[in-house]
Structure 1
Amino acid sequence: MSLYTSDPAPPVLAHTLLSQPVQNTKDPSAPTERTCSLVTEIKQGIKCSSHALFHPGIVIGFSRPRRRGTGGDDDHGYMGQIPRYILTKHLERTSPAPGSFNTFIVHPFNLTIFSPQNLLTSLLSTNPTPTPSLSRKEAITRLDAVQLLPVYDFSEAMQAITQVSDTLHQIGEQRKHQQLTTQYPVVLIIAGLDTLVESVIRASNPIKGTAVLSAALRMLTRLSREYAAFLSVLLINTSGLGLGTGMGDIAVADGDYQGEQLSVLLPSLLMKTLDQGTDTHLLVSRERGRAGRVGVEVIKDRVGDWLGTRCVWDG
């Protein structure tokens, strides 16, 4: 039986759908009411604050609804808008020493979300006024701090993650001996891991695929905890969640997923495993009839109170 074989389910929206959040362990001094919107959190990007949605020490997942007959560059284009924006803000703020890296991107060789040209275009176009835009030379200098690790299969992806782990150890040791007032985050992006593991499943079986995926996710979780002072891990799932009913995009802003509707987005063991490997999980979907705009909803948040928050993002 196919891993994804099931009766079609009607499209609904995301809310308390995935794993239930763990006990609230936030600082009791944190404000009880959210003081900024999801849009603001995205615009601010990664912050070294436990109250921020995007902060070091956790694994943040981005997924889209699965649609039948899709998965090409168009889907990847809208799927990559927010992660690429967050990365761009990170690169704008940091200026590491020559020869050092503050960003590592492991991705399938044919995935263009984080291609050098797309990143350069983002750096040259997303600077908000009145902040002066980076010059082309400055933007290219920022990209020198990005290490791209294209891979052809899941085994190569694991090797690349291990390579990054060794580099993170060196960065951690260096930072222990530095007396800096500001420690900028380091970003590790793993894109398309779900697509790569599907190849493992096709070559063997779902159990083996899920097992190797679990091992990879445990490694990412360990890295995020070991280097919690500075490492942000972004997991970009490109295959999509759900059954792929062909009924169009999910309009996130229309409503919520409820806990009993878990199977709508996570109908397979593989998808459940992907979700379990994240601390915070965002569902990104194309807005119907609104070119260039995407709906975003936080469908899981173990460490904060952003669960169920949603917005429309136009970049």
Structure 2
Amino acid sequence: MKTSGLAELEAVLAVARHRSFRAAANELSVSKSALSHAVGALEARIGVRLFNRTTRSVSLSEAGAQFVSTVAPALSTIHAALDQAGSFRDTPSGTLRINTSVGAARQAMPVFIAYLQRYPEMKVDIVTEGRLIDIVVEGFDAGIRLMETVPQDMIAVPFGDRQRFAVVGSPTYFERHKPPRTPADLTAHQCIRSRMPSGSIYQWEFERHGETMRIDGAGAITLNDASLMLAAARAGLGLAYLSEWDVRGDLEAGTLVRVLEDWTPPFDGLCLYYPGRRHVPAGLRALIEMIREYADANSARAAGKRKRRVQPARGTRR
């Protein structure tokens, strides 16, 4: 029997991941018809139907499920061998697939821009979604998430500074409402509620002097996107609970006012994470090194700011 090519195997695995020929074709940057032809050719060659197809759904057949479970790790080993051989190149090349959230992607964009400028033969495919996935099963090289959400069997590389949340409202909102002094005061306020990818409502988390609180505030609007929550807060619809990174510009401009700052301590921020049980591709190694450079530069800038703040004023105060 003629041996099938890697492209056909990649096609089958992509369809198996997405349960969709269209989504798999988008991932592989090929037409849907070309992908369907590749899968059909492989099925004809081995004489077995790998997928059950209807006009509305695609699912693995019993033979297809067994085929994928055998081929996926073997193909991963082949890719690792190719990456390892390619690591002897002077300049990394290939494609990195990164899974992350929208907010994390926005924060990481300066690094990705610099990365592509430094390594023009690399491509980066960034997929954003709220839910936390298994990056190995879904075919990603790495992910970027908050450190606390990363699975323990992954290698994590800290990405940027520690982060904090901020409770913010517009000046017009505070013209009508007295600012809260403690989290318990939020029961008298309109809160812009946040819906998690799971469908549950996120409870605002607070901590001070060892005391912790979770608040599920009432409000007229519930959203699942930080930029929409920001717009609602600017419009005076209520208080929003967002990351400092999201609200920094508004706080500096005075379009939003922060409250309860002493109740939102810092926590570990973003990290890039990847599986440690296989060879790390040259392109991913290069990205890891750039992230470490970025983190070191941020730390140096932060140390410089702290040093300038503690310097005594010149002259004698009268």
Q: Which structure's residues are more often strand, by fraction? A: 2
* Larger relative contact order (Cα-Cα within 8 Å, sequence gap ≥ 6): 1
The question of a shared fold, defined as TM-score above 0.5 by the shorter chain, is answered with no
**Structure of higher CA gyration radius:** 2
Which category describes the TM-score, using the shorter chain as reference length? Answer: under 0.3
Q: Which of the two has greater helix per residue?
A: 2
- TM-score (structure 2 length as normaliser): 0.25
